[in-house]
Amino acid sequence: MSARGRRPRERAPDDEVRRAVEADLRRYREYKRYVEEAYRRAEAEAAKAAGYAPVRWPDGDHPMASGVWRPPDAMDRMYGQFQRLRARFLADDPEYDRARRVVGAIEAVYASLAHRPLLRRVMELYYFAGRDAADVGRQIGYEESTVRAYRREIVRRALTEFRRRGVATYAEEESA
């Protein structure tokens, strides 16, 4: 806190970092799809390697794997092996961890904007739908300069969340 009782204002991110954060925000849907596909792929590979294929029955799960009855303790061991293999397959994918963290950070920022519907709408239209600032301004009924101010606020929040979660932007990775 400063002498006047207010928090010191955070320094605005430099232009390269701001652009990198905005690029990550715009690629949210790609990251989300990538994370889901990588997880499904890792699950399929782990299930195949572990010989674990849970069978769904209408009245619930039965302790079966690959169509053969197995006692519950064998199922637990198979499931544990399946989980370890899935984690190993995901760890082998270098982009998965970063994409997962970026998706989590963006979703946290979006959730934190629940009390700020205009900021949330700007985030949806500009970053997720890919509209330009003038179009977003027309849709929400504000000037383009207001949209730019809202974008700066979203980028500041996203950068704070990225740093909290240990996600370096590509601009920060290159300079390190």
67 within a domain of the structure (yes/no): no
Residue 50: the pLDDT is: 74
45 within a domain of the structure (yes/no): no
* CATH number of domain containing 27: 1.10.10
122 within a domain of the structure (yes/no): yes
Residue 59: the pLDDT is: 47
Q: Which domain holds residue 29?
A: 15-36+94-169
- For 3, 113, 151, the CA distances from 119, given in Å and listed in that order, are 30, 7, 8
pLDDT digits (tens, 9 = 90+) for 7-49: 555 555 688 889 999 999 999 999 999 999 998 888 888 878 8
Q: Is the pLDDT of residue 71 over 60?
A: no
Q: Which two tokens stand for residue 77?
A: 């061991």
Query: Mean pLDDT lowest for which of 14-28, 47-61, 162-176?
Result: 47-61
135 within a domain of the structure (yes/no): yes
160 within a domain of the structure (yes/no): yes
Q: What angle do CA 143, 147, 150 make, to 5 degrees?
A: 140
- How many domains are there within the chain? 1
Residue 58: the pLDDT is: 46
The whole model's pTM is what? Answer: 0.75
Q: Is the pLDDT of residue 173 over 90?
A: no
Q: What is the DSSP string of 42-92?
A: HHHHHHHHHT--EEEETTEEEEEETTEE--HHHHHHHHHHHHHHHHHHHHT
